[in-house]
Amino acid sequence: MKEIHVTGFTASVTNAELGYAAEFFGIVLLPEKLDKNICVHIHVGDVADDSFGSCIWTDNNHRPRIFYIEIKTDMTRAKTIKVLAHEMTHLKQYAKGELKDFVTPSKRHLNKWKGETVERNQYYWTSPWEIDAYGHEPGLWEMYNMRLKADAKKLRQKKKEWEEV
The binding site for Zn ion (CB under 5 A) comprises 130, 133
Q: What distance in Å separates the CA atoms of residue 149 and residue 153, rounded to the nearest whole number?
A: 6
Provide the minimum distance between the beta carbon of 151 and Zn ion in the complex, in angstroms, as a whole number. Answer: 28
Q: How far apart are CA 14 and CA 16, in angstroms?
A: 5
Taking the least distance from each CB to Zn ion, the nearer of 18 and 88 is 88
- Nearest-approach distance from CB 158 to Zn ion, in angstroms: 38
> Could you tell me the smallest distance in angstroms from the CB atom of residue 105 to Zn ion?
27
Comparing CB distances to Zn ion, the nearer of 144 and 163 is 144
Minimal CA–CA distance to 148: which of 24, 10, 14? 24
Q: Which residue is nearest to Zn ion (CB)?
A: 133
Sign for the CA dihedral angle at 92, 117, 124, 46 comes to: positive
Q: How far is the CB of 14 from Zn ion (least distance, A)?
A: 24
Looking at the Cβ atoms of 124 and 162, the one nearer to Zn ion is 124
Strand partners, 41: 5, 68
Q: Report d(CA 129, CA 53) in Å as an integer.
A: 15
| Residue placing its CB nearer to Zn ion in the complex, 17 or 130 | 130
